[in-house]
Amino acid sequence: MKKQKSLLILFMSLIFMFYGIAPIEVHTTTLPPRMALDSLKNNMVVSSDELLIKGWAINSSGVDKVNIYVDGKFKAAASYGSIRSDVSRLYPNHMNSNKSGYSYKLSVVTLKTGTHKITVQAVGRNKTIASISRYFVVTNLPKVKLESIKDNQVIENKSISVKGWAIAKAGINKVKVFVDDKYIGSAKYGIKRSDIKKLYPSYINSYQSGYQYTIDINKLLAGRHKITVQAIDKKGVSISTYKYVTVKKSVPIVKIETPIEGYIYDNVNVLIKGWAVNDSGVKAVNLYLDGKYLAKAAYGASRPDIFNKYSQYRNSKYSGFTYKIDIRKLSNGKHKISVEAVGNDGSKVSDSRNVEKNKLVTQGALEKPSDGADIDDGNITLTGWAINKKGIKSIKVYLNDKYKKTIYVGVSRSDIVRKYPEYPIKYTSASGYSTTIDTYTTRAGKGVVKVVVTANDGTVKTYMKTVNIIKKPAKLCIDTPKVNDVVKESTINIKGWALNDSGIKEVQVNLDGKFISKATIGIVRKDVNSKYKSYRFGDKSGFEYTMDSSTLSIGKHTITVKAIGYDGTYISSSVNVTMYGIVQYRSYPVTLKSFVDMELNKGGNVYGNTAVSASRSQIKYYMNPANFWNSESGKYMFLKLSYFPGISKADLNTILKGKGVLDGKESIFLQAGKESNVNPIYLVSHALLETGNGTSKLSNGSLVVNGKKVYNMYGIGAVDGNANTAGAQKAYNEGWYSADSAILGGAKFISANYVNNRYTPQDTLYEMRWNYDNMGHQYATDVRWAGNQLINIKRLVDLMSSSTFYYKVPKFKTPSTPVVTIDAAYGGNETGVTANGITEKNLTKDMAVRIGNVLKKSGIKVVYTRSNDSTVSVDQRVSISNTAGSDYFVSIQAHDKYIYYYPSSKSKLGSEMAKAINSAINTFNISKTSTKETKNITILSKTNSPAVLLNVGDIRDSDQAEFLTDSTYKNEISKEIANQIIDFVK
């Protein structure tokens, strides 16, 4: 063999040399074998029958076998080759390291008690050997096995057989059985077990180690239970084993057959009868009354019917129970009877009945309305019946627990007679009742109708039904005042209407969020009832309240009306109004036109700071309250200048702050106003104007007279050109030696001479300028004077926030329909002038009609002196006008350049109208007319009314004649002439 090997090496060397290949040096390395014993620690105590020997072994040549030795003696070869990936990771270069696991179960039952040595030997394929040893200790613990029960076994039989074996070195003393860790008894021990003797020959009595015990499942509840067997040796050492089982049983049942639910008894014994079954058998049937234990029922009565139906239950053939309750010992009223059936396994099941004890108790029904009925007509109809052995005393009806009425039975009910023969027929035959209740005091939505029946024996019974009350929506309208109305009176008339399906109980009036009063309700409103039908009291849905507004501050206020129905529901509506102030009216005995004419005829009126006389149109404008009353500043022309309460000290302080000598004098102005009966606002306004806001020398004490400082706050006596000297002298004469005395004293002067003049009181700026009582006693001649004061007063009022103002507004007589006579000159045989193709009589007739048509449209009655081409004398013309009672007479010609009027010392109306018409004609720049007075024209001198004779142009002038043939021009000039006439007559 060595020779062959040498030849091979020599052969290979020659090859390497021939091919020029260098020889390779080869090294061989052998890995050492390795092993481990995982399952056994040194000196481990073993008390079980088997010892698991488990570990791993590796060898570079592979492991051939793994031998097990006990106390130096070969026992067996272990199983080798189980997966050990952990070993493979540690020793990847060893052969089959990934399948290096071994295991062996060593039976220790034949080993003596004490210490033993176990050796594991791993033999490699190359015959190399590795070994490892451990010591273990075998103890004397008993051993026990439960063989007759499988873990989690389902038990449906009547009993559980507990069988197995138990051994101990010292011998077994007893074997105990437990259910759910509760001791139930000791098993019979000593049954022959030759198989155990063979396995454990060294154990005392192993030949008779069997035990047996029977568990009655009737004593167990259905469900999962733990069965435990405990073996105790004669030295008191014990060991246990256990298994789980599931006991399956039919559900226990108990039924009360009598009495039935709700049954009513009348002084008799109540028989409690029924049946009960339980898979474990019934141990007892307990009775309870109103939740308290009463007694045990007799159980075991024959019930073949139950057996036929529930034969699977133990003793179901004799499952009946009975018991009698002496109900006479019970109080009247409702009671609860309960039956509890207790099984032998402790399971319990119960049934109960509610009963009522009385002497032929009250019975009845509320038949109508049906439960959940819709009620939408305001009424609920109720019908039903009620009986009692002694009769029914009364029935009270409620809606949502509010008493509505008391009713009585009496309606014939033969059906109740038949159904309740035990009750006296005199009561059952007339046991019905019927009535109607309203829903007026009940809100919409769910409602509960309740009848409370009281019997003659004092017993009471209640019946109820639920209904759905439906109502129409409430409505409210405030007719007056309107939204954003301006209030100028000392009262506000609040009127309107309100509807509620339940009827209106009251209407409340609130002002700025505060309750004021209740309005008067029940006012007839057929219009509302016609539009919104079927509301309760809809025909008298109106309300009205007159509210005192005399103390309201100026500005916006909110009036809220709240209409409350009989059912408590309400609806609200609000309007905002603006308080203008407290308005009084002064009635004049003349029309505004007459007053204007009186002022015109008085004379002396100018327009502006000039000597130019004011026209009647200008006078009329400034005398007409309608041109000022509704404007923001114009209304102060009618502010009362006499004193009235309501001006606050705080407001005056705001106005006077920083106004020189007047600063802080609000209390003095209030005192002056009250003492002199003059509006403090007017006094302040006057003082600010005259003193240059409290800075003038005449007001601040800078002027001295005879060694005395003097003060003049209103410019009294301060004549133009010598104001300071004259005003200071006046103050000295009056004794105004302080600012306060000047305010107080000056107020007395203004009061006595103007505002409260004993002969001609002038209580407003309007009256100071237009003094009807004494037209010669006026504060100024400028027609604009009163209006010029308004800006300053408004400026002051705007600074005030809490004061109330009083106004006095003129109220003139309503004028009758004005009458104007229009005279078309010439006619008939009198043709007038004929020129440029125009005959004057035709033109005057045409113009008269045109002017008359404009006047008629404005509501003026027009009288013509001629309506056709006829001759009318001057006297006839005058007579026609005077007979008609004309306000003005206007005669029309067309051959001259003048507008004539009759001069009068008493009336300037003729001349003023002539001027106005003349001005209107000349605006066309066609004819150049002018006015001219004359006493020589009969038609002007004899008419009773102011009269003018006007020429619409001169037909002798070709240019004017051309225009006077143009219909458009004639319409325009007629309209302007008519407008001037209208201005005078209205």
pLDDT tens per residue across span 399-436: 999 999 999 999 999 999 998 887 899 999 999 999 99
- Give the pLDDT confidence score for residue 924 in this predicted structure: 93
Is the per-residue pLDDT at 165 higher than 90?
A: yes
Same domain, yes or no: 799 and 732:
yes
CA distance 674 to 651: 16
Which residues does residue 509 pair with via DSSP β-bridges, in sequence order? 517, 561
Q: Give the tens place of pLDDT for each residue, 287-328.
A: 999 999 999 999 999 999 999 998 888 888 999 999 998 877
Same domain, yes or no: 160 and 296:
no
Same domain, yes or no: 659 and 792:
yes
Same domain, yes or no: 660 and 611:
yes
Return mean pLDDT, the chain. Answer: 90
Q: Is 908 exposed, middle or buried (0-12, 13-18, 19+ CB in 10 A)?
A: buried
Same domain, yes or no: 857 and 947:
yes
Asked if residue 531 is part of any domain, the answer here is yes
Asked if residue 5 is part of any domain, the answer here is no
CATH code where residue 287 lies: 2.60.40
Closest CA to 779 of 795, 792, 801, 760: 760
Same domain, yes or no: 573 and 682:
no
CATH code where residue 410 lies: 2.60.40.10
CA atoms within 13 A on the CB side of 412: 1
The label of the residue with tokens 């061989």 reads 28
Q: Among residues 335, 353, 371, which one ends one of the domains? A: 353
Asked if residue 237 is part of any domain, the answer here is yes
Asked if residue 8 is part of any domain, the answer here is no
Same domain, yes or no: 156 and 171:
yes
Asked if residue 709 is part of any domain, the answer here is yes
CA 417, 418, 420, 424 dihedral sign is: positive
Q: Among residues 778, 808, 838, which one ends one of the domains? A: 808
Q: Among residues 547, 580, 613, which one ends one of the domains? A: 580
Same domain, yes or no: 670 and 755:
yes
Same domain, yes or no: 701 and 654:
yes
CA 568, 573, 579, 584 dihedral sign is: negative
Is the per-residue pLDDT at 623 higher than 80?
A: yes
Asked if residue 58 is part of any domain, the answer here is yes
- Give the pLDDT confidence score for residue 238 in this predicted structure: 86
**The whole model's pTM is what?**
0.49
- Give the pLDDT confidence score for residue 644 in this predicted structure: 82
Q: Which domain holds residue 222?
A: 143-247
CA angle at residue 948 from 947 to 951, to 5 degrees? 160
- Give the pLDDT confidence score for residue 553 in this predicted structure: 76
CA distance 435 to 451: 11
CA atoms within 13 A on the CB side of 272: 30
CB 431 within 8 Å of CB 392: yes
Same domain, yes or no: 773 and 680:
yes
Same domain, yes or no: 667 and 687:
yes
Number of domains in the chain: 7
Q: Give the tens place of pLDDT for each residue, 833-881.
A: 999 999 999 999 999 999 999 999 999 999 999 999 999 999 999 999 9
Asked if residue 416 is part of any domain, the answer here is yes
- Give the pLDDT confidence score for residue 5 in this predicted structure: 41
Q: What is the mean pLDDT of residues 949-978?
A: 96
Is the per-residue pLDDT at 21 higher than 70?
A: no
Same domain, yes or no: 638 and 620:
yes
Q: Give the tens place of pLDDT for each residue, 554-601.
A: 778 999 999 999 999 999 999 999 887 778 889 999 999 999 999 999
Asked if residue 841 is part of any domain, the answer here is yes
